[in-house]
Amino acid sequence: MNFFERQAQARRNSTRLIALFSLAVLGIVLMVGVLVLLVVGPRPGPLLAAAVATLAVIGLGSLFRISSLRSGGETVAQQLGGVPVAEDTRDPQLRRLRNVVEEMSIASGVPVPKIYVLEQEAAINAFAAGYSTSDAVVAVTRGALDRLNRDELQGVVAHEYSHILNGDMRLNIRLIGVLFGILMIGIIGRKILIHGRGFRNSATIVVIVGALAAMAVGSLGMFFGRMIKAGVSRSREVLADASAVQFTRQTAGIAGALKKIGGLDSGSRLAHREDAEEVSHMLFGDGVGLSGLFATHPPLIKRIQALEPGFRPEQLSRLQQQWMMNPPDGLQEDVALGLVAPGEALPHKDRALAVTPPMVAAQVAHPHDDDYARAHALVTAISDPLHDVATHREAAMPLVLALLFDDSDVVRGRQHTEIVARMGASVATEAAHLRETHLLELHPMLRMPLAALAFPVLRRRPRPELATFLDTVHAVVHADQQVSLFEYCLGRLLEVQLRETLDPGRYIRFGRRKPGNVKQEFATLLAVVAQAGNPGDKAAAQRAYLAGMQRVLPRDHVPYAPPAGGVQALDDVWDPLDALDPLAKQVMVEAITAAVSHDGQVSVAESELLRTICGVLHCPLPPTLEQLPH
């Protein structure tokens, strides 16, 4: 199952969630009706009033919780006591975590998420939360930092990235919201019971009896809630384990993390049980100790055996005895095992890649083989001074603006003027300085990783500053119609990701449109890509265009007509194309690849252009396209 099929499945799971929620609500309404019937008898008025009141409480509870989560994954992390990890941290454990997350992001083609640590939790656990890759948060417990070595931490983070890439996060965060509604009656009953103690008049007794009845109804809600979470979550955890193995190229990491969960007293259960209950379906390991029908995760032994078929329960018992005397220390294990990821040379910027459209579509959000090692090579290739610039609060904005500077002196002068007008002369001067000192000889494969490293810093800026920055980005990329397609798309990618950060709950949705409904948008995108890849050769551009159209609309004849506005014509295509059905997006990626590779090869620069377009359309692509030809 590839990324697009998983996205389609996630959309079906959303529909299934609505159906299960409706059945749970019906069950609660019926139970309330039975209780009212026992108290007042078969009187239609009270029964109807009870049903309406129950629906109102559930509905308002769900709406309230969904609204409270509108800011995305960061809200969940903070409610669980998470502490953000600074981009410039020098703490060895936090630096190791940030390095792993940064490399994982670059390998998968998504922005670097916000990183949190649950400092009060000694257990080994983690989760990813958010509506999209733009507002994603990865959180790990202090126990995971202390006990896991780098390979194990990498396996846990890779598991969470599977949830980020496959659309699981979006369903998980909505699940928190809707399930809160069916638990609302029980919560009200518990609050009344707590505050009603100590009173002895007859009215209070009636209230307490009502509170007990509400808690009984809440128990039914808890039953339905746990059943829904178990049904939605369990199979996805198996898939995430398998994806983590494919991502990191080894089973020892994630299997080792699972063994430490089973072998240490702290395990994976969170200390704050009530908070853990709400997010149990999104944790790496069982956070509350549920089993049987209510289990949100497969049994630990089965998860380990799926990774290491020869593993036996008695081996876990031996590990328990060993670690009881000498608990593992992750950083010490790193030293003992020599866990330093090997790098590899980047391909020459003029070297060609051999790809096919199905090959590229299969790689979307599905990093494998050497993608993680290549991501390490990319991070290693970024000098320490440049890395510090990308993660520095005051330097990140000038750096990103410098990435968008045109090669033409005339156009660059206009871009400089636009920056001065909006953000001041100092920002414009700093951007020009960074371009001259760091970016002129920058390998084209390092431009997007640099933007990815800067992204966490950018989205922490105050909303007014971020709005000004986005306006400046727009002005810089539109300073002249000769702006390159890469500069335009990178600017657009920044706008999309930062806009979603400002209001994540508003923009994220599963698309439903079909290719036949966006013919002109396809034609415009493919024409611009074909023209950009074949400047000055109209015949070659037309062949590239037709190769793409043959993939996506083989029965339609839409003539090649390069837009008069050039690259700026793309402003009108992004939203319609982003609203495509997931499986239609797969065809779209194949069509763009066919246009780019119509001559049988793809340059490194073209591959980065393809990655940028895929990023704008929420189809994250790893940083290299298969192996280089021998």
Distance (Å) of CA 29 to CA 44, 68, 486: 14, 25, 56
Is residue 1 classed as helix, strand or coil in its secondary structure?
Answer: coil
CB 483 within 8 A of CB 477: yes
Instruction: Give the integer Cα–Cα distance in Å for 603 and 155.
Output: 32
Instruction: Give the integer Cα–Cα distance in Å for 475 and 125.
Output: 44
Neighbours of 503 (CB within 10 A): 15
Tokens 């939605």 belong to 232
Listed as own residue / partner, the contacts of 88-95 with beta carbons closer than 8 Å and 24 or more positions apart are: 88/388, 88/391, 88/392, 92/331, 93/145, 93/146, 93/330, 93/331, 94/145
What does the DSSP 8-state code read for residue 482?
A: T
Q: How many Cα atoms occupy the beta-carbon half-sphere of 73 within 13 Å?
A: 30
Spatial CB neighbours of 573, under 8 Å, sequence gap ≥ 6: 518, 521, 524, 525
What does the DSSP 8-state code read for residue 129?
A: E
**Pairing outcome for strands 126-129 and 137-141:** antiparallel
Q: DSSP string spanning 71-119?
A: T-HHHHHHHTTEEEPPTT---HHHHHHHHHHHHHHHHHT-PPPEEEEET
Tell me the two tokens of residue 592. Answer: 């763009």
Amino acid occupying residue 578: D
Instruction: Give the integer Cα–Cα distance in Å for 203 and 210.
Output: 11
Closest CA relative to residue 167, chosen from 248, 282, 53, 332: 282
Radius of gyration of the chain (CA): 27
Residues acting as catalytic residues: 160
Give me the sign of the Cα torsion angle 27, 30, 36, 39. Answer: negative
Alpha-helical runs (H) found in 366-446: 371-381, 384-390, 396-403, 409-423, 425-434
Instruction: Give the integer Cα–Cα distance in Å for 4 and 612.
Output: 18
Distance (Å) of CA 419 to CA 405, 447, 458: 11, 20, 16
Closest CA relative to residue 113, chosen from 82, 146, 152: 82
Edge-first strand listing for the sheet containing 82-84: 82-84, 114-118, 137-141, 126-129
